[in-house]
Structure 1
């Protein structure tokens, strides 16, 4: 497996390369750390490599808010300048500068 540095940082807003959703990153795994069952459920032609960073997102689309787990290869920077409206954002972050959120001081994730 490759040893990569994450391209995106906690608090950054990103959008999915293939699907119409965006979100704020709240955690990063240096490589795939979900279940094999989750990975196998992705259609083979869309299945990402495991040897890259994977991001935990507070995600949103036009219909709902949810949590997503997305490979680095499938993310792009979101340049809209719009905040993410996910209800959990206020629990994890403070200020928003038009590109990224600031994580609350002392906040620890599992």
Structure 2
């Protein structure tokens, strides 16, 4: 069944359900839109369905900052109230407030 409505929003802080990282959503694909190689590299027993929203995250863990592409089924809302420290955040978002980041729009 195709799920067309995204559960999470751009600027929202989320956590991965299985792995120890969190991040800020900066884009959403209505269904899987990455490469076949990327999809095939996921072990079959944990490979997510393609017919769900996939989220692009500015992600962080204890050691590093990176970009992540995660299925909706593998995300949960982050309720820590803590900001994310990803160095690319200021390029896309304003200051952390009320548990989320507002989009930063050019003023020109």
Same fold per TM (> 0.5)? yes
Q: Which residue of 2 aligns with 1:59?
A: 59
- Structure 1 moving runs of 4+ over 4 Å: none
Q: Which residue of 2 aligns with 1:92?
A: 92
Q: Secondary structure at the match of 1:55?
A: strand
Q: Could you tell me how far 1:98 is from its partner in structure 2?
A: 3.8
Q: Which has the higher strand share?
A: 1
- Structure 2-normalised TM-score? 0.95
Q: Could you tell me how far 1:96 is from its partner in structure 2?
A: 1.2
Distance in 2, Cα, partners of 1:61 & 1:98? 22
Count residues with an aligned counterpart.
107
- Structure 1-normalised TM-score? 0.93
Q: Note the alpha carbon deviations across 1:62-107, whole angstroms, 9 max, x for none.
A: 0000000000000000011111100000100002114110001259
Q: Which residue of 2 aligns with 1:6?
A: 6
Where do 5+ consecutive residues of structure 1 fail to align? Answer: none
Q: Secondary structure at the match of 2:37?
A: helix
Cα RMSD over matched residues?
A: 1.4
Where do 5+ consecutive residues of structure 2 fail to align? Answer: none
Distance in 2, Cα, partners of 1:79 & 1:65? 20
